[in-house]
């Protein structure tokens, strides 16, 4: 089975992992939003239903109330929430 193969190398950059897989160089655990839309790739397992990771948005306390920072923070939080199903492999 594919999970019994020996690991010959590691690539820490997700985009490089994606390109290596597309080139037929091996297999990788990719985020669904990267791998699902690639016709040359085949999913080997179902996505994990509830990935456990945290995403933090950090700001310096001196600029936290700055209107530009608030607008960006609100935008990025909304964008991530609206893409939740795609980011977690539910589509």
Per-residue model confidence (pLDDT) at position 51: 58
Specify whether 58 is located in the same domain as 83: yes
Tally of domains within the chain = 2
Q: What is the DSSP string of the chain?
A: -GGGSPP------HHHHHHHHHTTS------HHHHTT-TT----SPPPSS----------TTTTT-HHHHHHHHHHHHHHHHTHHHHTT--
Per-residue model confidence (pLDDT) at position 62: 93
Specify whether 36 is located in the same domain as 62: no
Per-residue model confidence (pLDDT) at position 52: 66
Residue 6: give the domain boundaries: 1-45
Specify whether 86 is located in the same domain as 61: yes
Q: Is the pTM of this model over 0.75?
A: no
Per-residue model confidence (pLDDT) at position 3: 66
Per-residue model confidence (pLDDT) at position 75: 96
Specify whether 41 is located in the same domain as 20: yes
Per-residue model confidence (pLDDT) at position 84: 81
> Which residues of the chain, if any, have pLDDT below 50?
none
- Find all residues with CB under 8 Å of 89, minimum gap 6, and list them: 31, 32, 33, 36, 47, 48
């Amino acid at each position: 089975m594919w999970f019994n193969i020996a690991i010959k190398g590691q690539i820490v950059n997700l985009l490089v992992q994606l390109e290596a897989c597309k080139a037929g160089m091996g297999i990788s655990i990719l985020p669904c939003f990267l791998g699902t839309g690639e016709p040359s790739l085949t999913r080997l397992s179902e996505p994990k239903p509830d990935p456990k990771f945290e995403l933090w948005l950090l700001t310096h306390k001196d600029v936290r109330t700055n209107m530009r920072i608030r607008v960006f923070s609100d935008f990025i939080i909304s964008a991530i929430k609206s893409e939740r199903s795609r980011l977690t492999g539910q589509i």
